[in-house]
Structure 1
Amino acid sequence: MLTKGMRSQYIPTTGTRSFLKWRKPYIQQTVYTLWSYPDLLPAFSTWPPVLQRLAGGADLMLPGVMVPSCGLPQVQQGTLCAITLVGNRAPVAVGVATMSTAEMLAAGMKGKGFTVLHSYTDHLWGFGDKSYPPTIAPLVAEPAELESTDDDDKDEEGREPDSDLSIAPSLQMGIGNLSLQEGDGCAKLMEEEKPGETGSAEMAEDIAEVQPETEDGRTLQERMDELLHQCFFHALKCKVKKSELPLLTSTFLRNHMFSCCPEGQQLDIKKSSYKKLSKFLQYMQQQKIVQVKELNKGVESIVHIDWKHADIKSFVVPEAFSAVSTAPESQCGDGEQLYHAPEIIPLYGVSAKMAPLFQESGHKKGSILSSSDVRNIVISYVKTNELVDETNKNFVKVNPILCDCLLDKWEQDEISKLKWDDLLSRCLEQLQPYHQVTFFGHEPIVRKGNLDPIDITIAQRSSNKKVTIIKNLELYGLDPQLVANTLQQRVQASATINTLPGAKDRVQVQIQGNQINHLAKLLLDEYQLHRKYIQGLEKAPKLSRKK
């Protein structure tokens, strides 16, 4: 296992070339190994949005660590630890504790908690099979179980609870022979542990059978079954899109079903009668609602969904979600979300400088007008004050108010007349820009300033590789995750979503290669967006002509 002194010698920090210099088998503590042995290291949980920052090279700060009711694992400074996401015991990163557990609590859970050495989606992960984290249900200890541990002095997996998560010598010997290429060794060790896992499952089933009834007369297992079905059908009806298929079952649970769980409730499949997600999906496959296949060894994916199934059609979205589920999009029969391009109208606000010109029409500073309103008000003002030139009606005489509002200081002594077009264009330039966006099924939204276009740029990465970066999709009601998934399937290239620098609530899509031609077809032809709202299409690569 890595110690503090070994990190600087064996942990890579500058790209993939340093991986080749490793001469000792200290790479066993990768996320791949920890997915097979989730309890190998002390585990600390964080929230899913933090994973993007960890994958980008950030360390884990203590405010991002979730403190469970049973307390944090007891570790010392320099201890190698696993980092998991809330609701899933599958580690997504490996780090070194910068302080002991007691020091973390004494600091009020503030400051840097872990120096991250390796995370899911980094270069080390790329040396493996690039699989996604599995879904490993959390070990939630009930009060009765906590009391029994005091008597038996062991947890349900047979480990000493006060052993500070130490590793048995036999397990250490087995881990020493593992590597990223030795999948057979992992499978063999996992098969040896199956009897213990079966015993734990049987114990959980026995406990479930004697669960007390809740206030509504149902057991906890019955209520969890109902919540599981609700989240499943809600996800199929409102979250999953046809373009996402095939969809990893673990991703379906993590990204779709968990988000459909009502506030104040927690979905825990282990507390249901199904115990495992695979068993639940197998039942739904028997009902011909979904079709699940093992596309990769040991990894199951949902490959087909029957959105016309009576159970999906008859499902009613809970009231708490109904406003969100039907928000900017309508849904067709096969579950594919239909995108409606927003209606965008430029507006203009009356500034202090332009207020005298609009005063006669009853508009004060801050009034918001459309371009047609501005045109009509200016024409009315010109006619009311008899400013049309008698010799040439294409010109308007400049009076003191027009002079102060529209002319620069150096122009005031030289210009006495303006053409109608020049007069109107100068008025629009002097007004404050606003815009109104109307999404399908929503009330119009008025914002100050001009609407930023969808920005497409090409960036250069290591080894002279190019990536396409797309920003501002949310401003047009587009789901960045859907756009990334669609492009990834069409061009067969890796696509990721990262936080937009300088914007906490915005993200950007990044996909390998110059994919502007495919992106233009998606945005212009399929989403029906106007070209003037897309910036960067001119950077598309020229298509080679076939001879």
Structure 2
Amino acid sequence: MFAKPFRVKSNTAIKGSDRRKLKADLLAAFPSLSADELSELIPNKEECNVVKIYAHKGEAVTLYVLHKNPLFFELEKRLYPTVYVLWHRPTLLPVLRTWAPVLQKLIGGADLMLPGVVVPSCGLPDVKQGACCAVTIVNNRAPVAVGKAAVSSSEMQSSGMKGRGVCVLHTYKDYLWAFGDKSVPPSLPDEETEADEMDEENCEVSENEQEEEEEGESERSLEEQQSSGETVSDQACRVEDLSLAEQEGDKEESSNNHEDDNQDERKTPQEEMDALLLQCFLHALKSKVKKFELPLLTSTFLRNHMFSCCPSGKQLDIKRSSYKKLSRFLQVMQQQHNLVTVKELTKGVESIVEVDWKNPQLRSFSAPEETGAESTLLQDGGDEEVSYHPPEITTLYSVSARVEPLFVDANKRKGATMNAAEVRSIITEYVKKNELVDENNKNFVIINPSLCDCLLEKSEYQEVEALKWDDLFSRTLGKMQECYQVIFPGQAAIIKKGHIEPIDIAVASRGSNKKVTLIKNLEAYGLDPAAVAAALQHRVQASTVLHPVPGTKDKVLVQIQGNQIHQTGSLLLNHYQIPRKYIQGLDKAPKSGKKK
């Protein structure tokens, strides 16, 4: 479930009443927890946060976080512990054991198949279908995965240990684990000694059976089938990749792949991010950047080119690399690798002015087939491909101090953001819970003291006793802080207050009454001003100039000769697919008239 990045919707401190309710829910879900253990997990005097997230498939999940580590996650009104909790309370859930190589499949998004389960001498734990359970690896009792039992333990045995065993929700090394401090499982000796006597051959057989079961499951999604077909490497068990065998790959190639995988596994998260950064950098230079685009703003290069080269399932984050900043990374690429030349053309604004296309490292680089970009757009009059996708822009509303009392029951504090539909849903629930619907006319809502304080003006206190539903909703939205959310492909959501500035197109006069067209705010929509200028120059055969916008950082104004509003609008609307409501000045285009 967390094998791919998720989106954080809100992050707020838990209040006292919610903390008490959480403890009660935990006792109900995990009766084995003692009062002392519960107080240790959820201390009364330490700040605990409630984080609302959306998983990659859109599932709404609530995280309970302490000391930056997610402790529990709530899905469909059911609580599950994370591996961080289970490492301190390994007996909290019934446990199924498996081999170390199988863990790699679980991290990739696969479920635990019964042939991969190691049955101890005392037998399987007593679990019912749908019960929450944990997964450990042989010789270590520290759980590495959490999920729901696909069938009961009796059905597991009656099926001859064939089929699906655990529907995995969360694993060590997934994105939920990465949301915490990224600590590793402790070493907890396994009481079962039989596993120590298992040799390498038994390990290989169990894993191959796990693979066969995964491929035979008709209900598997395409994503799970792909993850179950990934190469799995382990120093104790060298297993030939099944998909490579089907493609008649030889054993030597498979062995080399396993060695590469082992080297990747030994990399620290920082080293992995450094390698991903270099891969995206080389991919962008070789496949995305064109000579006519230079000089190219470094910020635009990162946003429009490098992010689009990030493989799906991964997220490029320079702050998690050893470089920390884009400028430092580019400095290394220039001084140590001689790949690019970076200069400060205007004060405080760096640009890539030259690329060494003949550099051996760049020429030998082979771009991976799969990237985060889903499609490409073609530039007019040429065959070059430009990886641009219009951002997803959503209007949001932030809870203000005045209307906060209406959102307390929904656990939405001041500053929490949501869309209009969520606001309507919460207000509707508030009205129903407080029985405020007018019995004589259900189109009206009776104003109680809280609604009066939150929504009415002082002059209305004695006059307005009820509001229509639509008026109630519009007043609520009007008292909230309007925000907007921008999501670029492959990047985390950006939320800002107010309205997003539209792309502004204006016509100005220069010397000798000559007209020029000025275009600004392109950066807010992920557009590279240099690329837009080049496309316009090609369309209208007129000269273009780029000017830094005074008082701003990394913002550039495009100037082109003549009144080119019509051509600019056509480029933005049809080619870059920017919605018309985000373009200002289209009405100033010259009107075509009949020539006499």
The structure whose Rg is larger is 1
TM-score of the two chains, using structure 1 as the length reference: 0.43
